[in-house]
Structure 1
Amino acid sequence: MALSPLNAISPIDGRYRSKVEKLKDYFSEEALIKYRVLVEIEYFIALCELPLPQLETVEHTLFDALRDIYKNFTADDASAIKDIEKVTNHDVKAVEYFIKEKFDTLELSAYKEFIHFGLTSQDINNTAIPLSIKDAMNAVYVPEYFELLEKIEGLAKEWEAIPMLARTHGQPASPTRLGKEVSVFAVRLKEQFNLLNDVPSAAKFGGATGNFNAHKVAYPAIDWKAFGTKFVQEKLGLQHSFPTTQIEHYDHAAALFDALKRINTIIIDLDRDIWAYVSMDYFKQKIKAGEVGSSAMPHKVNPIDFENSEGNLGIANAIFEHLSAKLPISRLQRDLTDSTVLRNVGVPFGHTIIGFKSTMKGLGKLLLNESKFAQDLENNWAVVAEAIQTILRRESYPNPYEALKGLTRTNAAITQSSISNFIDTLEVSDDIKSELKAITPSNYTGI
């Protein structure tokens, strides 16, 4: 049966496929095969440019035709490689044999044994996968991130003058402004993105145990370390990890996943706060004709987009956490656990993009209910107690905190009138009393 949204096991390939379609170019099996082909082709070209003595006669005019093998890579090419793999039972070796067939077509048969020369499969995997991650970050993740960031910053600006009752420990606290509270998330996101940008995309390239053993024994006069660094950094645009074991040590990859996890955590925090504001009636939500909020309660308009985002980002973080904890650990010079784990690297990216889009959708449906903000502030005059006792401290008034504590920590309602009456009892000048009475929950919002 052909894969469809109805029979896919993963919701990424099923229910949410349309939201993450672009990721297939970087994290699908076909994409991985294509990136392997790219590395193998560019490596052969680099050997020609060195040049190795046996490759001096390769016409450089053929390089474009060689690059077309991966630039014009098709699903049929991927299927052909998978057919070869059924015989070899080795995915990278299947790529090598596929390219050898292409060399026959290009009349390069005499040079076929320099495909994958001196390499181990991990030289291909540990360059192909970081390259695919880097490309996916630039092509998919970063645009989605900036779209969400710009939305958050836009709302912070739009709501910058809206006074709001703050809540610490869930209890009424010194007032703030809605825009400021939203801007907190924008600043947090930008700071973590800056850290994310500092993480290099690192790759291993050095033979079976990382020492260029095969290269050196065949051509001892060549500086293979310099060649490997130049190839990885100038040809592929990655950072060359050296020395390594057979595999990349993945420390930088772990740092990347941890940084992505922190960004997701900030958005989860935003999701939960907006969810709470909706439950407090600070926001209404735009209603779409025909939509149902509850199968039983017709009145319901649920904040499902923020809940969907929180759930997907939570799954993403769980997998990012496993990747960052597992990948840097490998028995001796290598075991195979990194291979099967890395095949899932696109999964947390998929759930992350779904989460970003869900938060974006939720933010786009919010309708500000200003009257509720004003009502909550008016119902909580006790929050100006901090302001009053601070000014009294400034004036060296005896025990101001205790005086306000006695007024406010009662079950009696604290109103503008009771605050004003309290101020009238204070032994301070009329100017100070006027200053204190000018403070309201709506204007005591700081800077």
Structure 2
Amino acid sequence: MTLPPQPLSPLDGRYRASVGLLGDHLSEAGLNRARVHVEVEWLIAQTDRRAFGSSPLDEGQKAALRAVVTDFGQEAIDELAGLEATTRHDVKAVEYWVRARLADLGLEGIAELTHFACTSEDINNLSYALTVKQAVTEVWLPAFDAVQEALAGWATEARDVPMLAHTHGQPATPTTVGKEFAVFVHRLRRLRAQIEGTEYLGKFSGATGTFSAHVVADPSADWPEVSREFVEERLGLTWNPLTTQIESHDWQAELYSRVAHVNRVLHNLATDVWTYISMGYFTQIPIAGSTGSSTMPHKINPIRFENAEANLELSCALLDSLAATLVTSRQQRDLTDSSTQRNIGVAFGHSMLALDNLRRGLGEIAVGTAALEADLEGNWEVLGEAIQTVVRAEVVAGRSSIADPYAMLKELTRGRRVGQAELVAFVEGLDIGAEAKARLVALTPAGYTGIASQLVDRLA
């Protein structure tokens, strides 16, 4: 039995609610709308400069022409699909579709300015730059910011909550829960600034980047300046003056590498939180009606963080491939980029899905106070660092004659559990000044967090 049509990708099926907004930009329909936008603006730009004796369109005509972009919907999508079935060429189908709209608007007189002196890649590279820019700034970055805000909230809320650290998986100098979240916020803010500063480059220079057809058609025009003005002032992109047939895609490689870097930092977050949940440092808040296990009713599985982890890995695999392959093209061009770029939306979709799960997961956990306190109380040996450091300071100050403070504390604590009473007795017998001794006797693992709390304030 044949199933009715089903989405092949889970991004368009099970997870559509989480990633659907990307489809407004990074789908085939979004790409075609951007192509129409570029073609329409090029028409208007040419008439504005009275190219080849044409006259500027009046404001009503410009508005009507631009409306074919803003009103681009299912009817246009279907009509373009029909045209492409005949042309076997997606950009040529867009050109014919725009020409038909000119006829509808009574503007047949400028029909030959449609796609004038353009190679398909002039339209495509600008369209991809527009759609990726819109997807990043209007959809992906807001989702990313929501995760950052959740992390910053955790950093502030848990600013003073002491936590036993684990370096190499072993008990180590305590920190605070808030400070550990603050580390992630700081890392992500740096990366966000880099992504926000992305240059979205575009070329508009003909079949091999030489303006050859342009110059033959009008030798008197300053075609590089016409191109620059169109790309930068009309489309809001950054003009690339030196290219082959294609824009070289370096900006895409830079952007995708940065987004992949963000993904990997978030992957680190997901695995850390998952581990802390398994240790009891965080507890999961039960959600009414949800099931953690099909057979073990007591369980609340950390599925938000597991789902995020998997999708971040998938996103990175695609982004890494895009960044590695798009910067290479045989001679003046080949079509490998045409196929790979159709997966940009999938790469961002898996990242978006991970962001959604992380945001929701961070809202479904609470501090596991009992486990945090128990681990701190059970690991007094972590104060060995503090004791030997104070002793070394006392030696330098001339208030102690202890020969090797580190070796002395290593002998006492390495590979051993040492309790409060034992440490206090040890400190009391040290050859150090009274003030330093009092400081050490009063110290507890929960109080040995340095300025962790104040470091969180650097996020402000």
Scaled to the shorter chain, the TM-score interval is over 0.9
Structure 2 residue aligned with 1:28:
27
- Structure 2: unaligned runs, 5 residues or longer: 396-401, 452-460
Structure 1 residue aligned with 2:457:
none
Q: Which amino acid aligns with 1:191?
A: R
Q: Say yes or no: does 1:242 pair with 2:247.
A: no
Structure 2 residue aligned with 1:315:
314
Q: 1:14: how far off?
A: 0.8
Structure 2 residue aligned with 1:398:
403
Structure 2 residue aligned with 1:389:
388
Q: 1:391: how far off?
A: 0.6
Structure 2 residue aligned with 1:415:
419
Q: Secondary structure at the match of 1:310?
A: helix
Work out the percentage of aligned pairs sharing the same amino acid: 42
> Using a 3 Å threshold, how does the CA distance of structure 1 residues 400 and 103 change in structure 2: closer, same or farther?
same
Cα distance in 2 between the residues matched to 1:90 and 1:298 = 56
Query: Contact (CA 8 Å) 2:394, 2:433: kept in 1 or not?
Result: no
Cα distance in 1 between the residues matched to 2:370 and 2:158 = 14
Q: Secondary structure at the match of 2:445?
A: coil
Query: Contact (CA 8 Å) 2:163, 2:175: kept in 1 or not?
Result: yes
Q: 1:311: how far off?
A: 0.5
**Within-5 A mapping of 1:113-152:** 113-152=112-151
Structure 2 residue aligned with 1:261:
260
Q: Secondary structure at the match of 1:165?
A: strand
- Structure 1: unaligned runs, 5 residues or longer: none
Cα distance in 2 between the residues matched to 1:405 and 1:445 = 21
Structure 2 residue aligned with 1:334:
333
**Within-5 A mapping of 1:38-187:** 38-56=37-55, 58-187=57-186
Structure 2 residue aligned with 1:433:
437
Query: Contact (CA 8 Å) 2:144, 2:355: kept in 1 or not?
Result: yes
More deviation in 291-300 or 118-127? 291-300
> Using a 3 Å threshold, how does the CA distance of structure 1 residues 3 and 124 change in structure 2: closer, same or farther?
farther
Cα distance in 1 between the residues matched to 2:166 and 2:326 = 41
> Using a 3 Å threshold, how does the CA distance of structure 1 residues 2 and 321 change in structure 2: closer, same or farther?
farther
Q: Say yes or no: does 1:443 pair with 2:447.
A: yes
Cα distance in 2 between the residues matched to 1:431 and 1:85 = 84
Query: Contact (CA 8 Å) 2:37, 2:66: kept in 1 or not?
Result: yes
Cα distance in 2 between the residues matched to 1:3 and 1:322 = 33
Q: 1:136: how far off?
A: 1.0
Query: Contact (CA 8 Å) 2:200, 2:251: kept in 1 or not?
Result: yes
Cα distance in 2 between the residues matched to 1:262 and 1:143 = 17
Q: 1:51: how far off?
A: 1.9
More deviation in 102-111 or 360-369? 102-111
> Using a 3 Å threshold, how does the CA distance of structure 1 residues 103 and 430 change in structure 2: closer, same or farther?
closer
Cα distance in 2 between the residues matched to 1:2 and 1:236 = 46
Q: 1:430: how far off?
A: 3.3
Q: Secondary structure at the match of 1:395?
A: helix
> Using a 3 Å threshold, how does the CA distance of structure 1 residues 57 and 140 change in structure 2: closer, same or farther?
closer
Cα distance in 2 between the residues matched to 1:169 and 1:410 = 14
**What are the Cα deviations for residues 390-411 of structure 1, in whole angstroms up to 9, with x where unaligned?**
0100011321111101100254
Q: 1:58: how far off?
A: 4.5
**What are the Cα deviations for residues 157-176 of structure 1, in whole angstroms up to 9, with x where unaligned?**
00000011000000001111
Cα distance in 2 between the residues matched to 1:317 and 1:252 = 17
Q: 1:296: how far off?
A: 2.2
Q: 1:434: how far off?
A: 1.4
Cα distance in 2 between the residues matched to 1:2 and 1:439 = 71
Q: 1:290: how far off?
A: 2.4
**What are the Cα deviations for residues 257-294 of structure 1, in whole angstroms up to 9, with x where unaligned?**
01111111111111111001000011111112322211
Q: 1:53: how far off?
A: 2.9
Q: 1:60: how far off?
A: 4.9
**What are the Cα deviations for residues 85-117 of structure 1, in whole angstroms up to 9, with x where unaligned?**
111111101111111111111121122111000
Q: Which amino acid aligns with 2:67?
A: D
Q: Secondary structure at the match of 1:175?
A: strand
Q: TM-score, normalised by structure 1?
A: 0.97
Q: 1:424: how far off?
A: 2.2
More deviation in 151-160 or 106-115? 106-115
Cα distance in 1 between the residues matched to 2:433 and 2:141 = 58
